[in-house]
Amino acid sequence: MDMFCFQCEQTAAQKGCIKQGVCGKSGDCAILQDELLDRLIELVNCAELNDENIKLVVDGLFMTITNVNFDEAQIQEYIEKIRKKINCNYDYNIRTLWRSDEDIRSLKSLILFGLKGVAAYYHHAMVLGYKNSDIEKFFFEALSAIPKNLSKQELFDLVLKTGEINLKCMGLLDEANTKTYGNPAFKKVTTNIEKGPFIVVSGHDLKDLELLLEQTKDKGVNIYTHGEMLPCHAYPKLNKYHHLKGNFGTAWQNQQKEFDNIPAAILFTTNCIMPVKTSYRDRVFTTCVVGYPDVIHLEKDFTPVINKALELGGYKEDKKMTGINGGDVLRVGFGHNSVLSAADKIIELIKSGDIKHIFLVGGCDGAKTGRNYYTDFVKLTPKNSLVLTLACGKYRFNDLDLGEIKGIPRLLDMGQCNDAYSAIKVALELAKAFDCSVNELPLSMVLSWYEQKAVCILLTLLFLGVENIKLGPTLPAFISPNILKILSEKYKIKPITTPDKDLEEILNRCQK
Ligand code: SF4
Ligand code: SF3
């Protein structure tokens, strides 16, 4: 029995991985992840919605996101846990979906992959003690719809509902993050590393970072963020720890090179973990839903990570490191709170013509060629425009100093992928101030996708009726030609072309 997976942007031949994942996932691991989905679908059809079962659903979905869990033993153990909760004779095999009519498969994939993204965000909210019954009910509703014989219209409605629920979920996570750690505020983050023991913490989980900061408080170990943990520096209740020093490395897809023989311990809290090379495997640790064979997995007691960092000792001298464009300062902290506190000024600058356009250049990064489009696009944006960014795609350009417009930095890093919520809030507030719709604002979205969290964010934008999104570097393999036609006609979604052409098209359209 061969695997089949086409859930991410780097899928083989733009069609699907069938022998081994391009991400490094083995065929057996992919088959187990499918089995995990089968059991979850059986669970929602058989068992009641309660705290224990919702946690199984949320974490189970999260485990199957790209670059989260490669550990067959851990996945098998999780399947057994679910099996114990299934108390009826429902039998489902997700392979029937992969073999079904391509439009139905496309719509159900949008729902299933989007739901995985929602699960990741809901997991982070739950960890901080925030819950919502509408979101929980939807996990059951959407998963139980996968085996059903539904019309294209019914499925399309569910696709948009996934986007609607994700908006609610990102709102809940925003509330959880800001109420727990304060509102993000502007902060300069260094890419340089101080001498002495250190730990690199990767992923998206703020709670894990807080626990690690607490547990390393008086241990002589410095903490550096990596990848999507970078925005944590902007939260007052996280940056109050003086040993949270800076950010290590560039984008997630460079980790195999950047972690090679690193004299530090590395903790992965969520995606994106890549196949762990033997040159640094002894210093990698995973927690929660992340797993990799032969890598030590921890649950909230980070003593082994700390001991490893002390044993490795870090660099002997301070080490100068930079972003990919040579800059060594990253500016973070432009969530909705700080951008909206400058809203009056931004509105005034738009009215006076000092700000002619706002670009949202955000989304995932990835290893495939062609993603330099985003760096080139940002470099080409006119000096009288702002560039909002979020998620890990920003590592292509976040060390660039684009200058300021009357005291407002041109490049505004709004945070992690889930902070798309901030961008949406800002867009809605601007639309209110100008008494127009978001589509009438001088605002354009140029997005990059890689994994399934990007899918749910895209569905949220569709739910909100946002038009003219440019999406790249390639379109999802799971969107069939007919569904793509509907999306391009209804929402005017277009694939990216070249930076000059796209920029010209955007600016011309907005002048009309
Ligand atoms: Fe292939 Fe992406 Fe699936 Fe990995 S997650 S197996 S790369 S489609
Ligand atoms: Fe990135 Fe993996 Fe998508 Fe949070 S860390 S956005 S790719």
Output the six-digit token pair for 313.
């000792």
Residue type, 399: D
Identify which of 170, 253, 273, 365 to mutate to test ligand 2's pocket (most ligand atoms within 8 A of the CB).
Answer: 365
Q: Is 205 in the pocket of ligand 2 (CB under 6 A)?
A: no
Identify which of 2, 15, 17 to mutate to test ligand 1's pocket (most ligand atoms within 8 A of the CB).
Answer: 17
- Percent of the chain residues topping a pLDDT of 70: 99
From the alpha carbon of 392, which atom of ligand 2 is closest?
1
* Topology at the third CATH level for domain 187-312: Rossmann fold (3.40.50)
> Which residue's CA is minimally distant from atom 4 of ligand 2?
417
**Confidence check: pLDDT of 1 > 70:** no
Output the pTM of the full model. 0.97
**Confidence check: pLDDT of 278 > 70:** yes
Residue 369 has a pLDDT of 83
- Percent of the chain residues topping a pLDDT of 90: 96
Q: Is 121 in the pocket of ligand 2 (CB under 6 A)?
A: no
Residue type, 35: E
The tens digit of pLDDT for each residue in 239-271 reads 999 999 999 999 999 999 999 989 999 999 999
What is the pairing mode between strands 222-225 and 494-495? unpaired
As a whole number of Å, the CA-based R_g of the chain is: 22
* Topology at the third CATH level for domain 329-511: Rossmann fold (3.40.50)
148 CB-near residues (< 8 Å, 6+ apart): none
d(CA 162, CA 160): 5
Q: For residue 65, give the ligand nearest its CA.
A: 1
Residue 222 has a pLDDT of 98
- Residue 171, classified by CB atoms within 10 Å of its CB into exposed (0-12), middle (13-18) or buried (19+), is middle
Q: For residue 64, give the ligand nearest its CA.
A: 1
**Confidence check: pLDDT of 512 > 90:** no
Ligand 2 mean position, distance from CA 449 (Å): 8
Q: For residue 371, give the ligand nearest its CA.
A: 2
Q: Is 227 in the pocket of ligand 2 (CB under 6 A)?
A: yes
b/e for 33-46, b at 16 or more Cβ within 10 A?
Answer: bbbbbbbbbbbbbe
- Ligand 1 binding residues, C-beta < 6 A: 5-8, 10-11, 17, 21-23, 25, 30, 66
Angle at alpha carbon of residue 74, lines to 73 and 80, rounded to 5°:
90
* Dihedral sign of CA atoms 474, 478, 480, 485 in order: negative
pLDDT, the chain, mean: 96
Output the six-digit token pair for 211.
């626990």
CATH 3.40.50.2030 residue spans of the chain: 187-312, 329-511
d(CA 150, CA 347): 46
The tens digit of pLDDT for each residue in 323-365 reads 999 999 999 999 999 999 988 899 999 999 999 999 999 999 9
From the alpha carbon of 204, which atom of ligand 2 is closest?
4
d(CA 381, CA 369): 21
Residues 116-135: what's their mean pLDDT? 98
**Confidence check: pLDDT of 471 > 70:** yes
Q: For residue 366, give the ligand nearest its CA.
A: 2
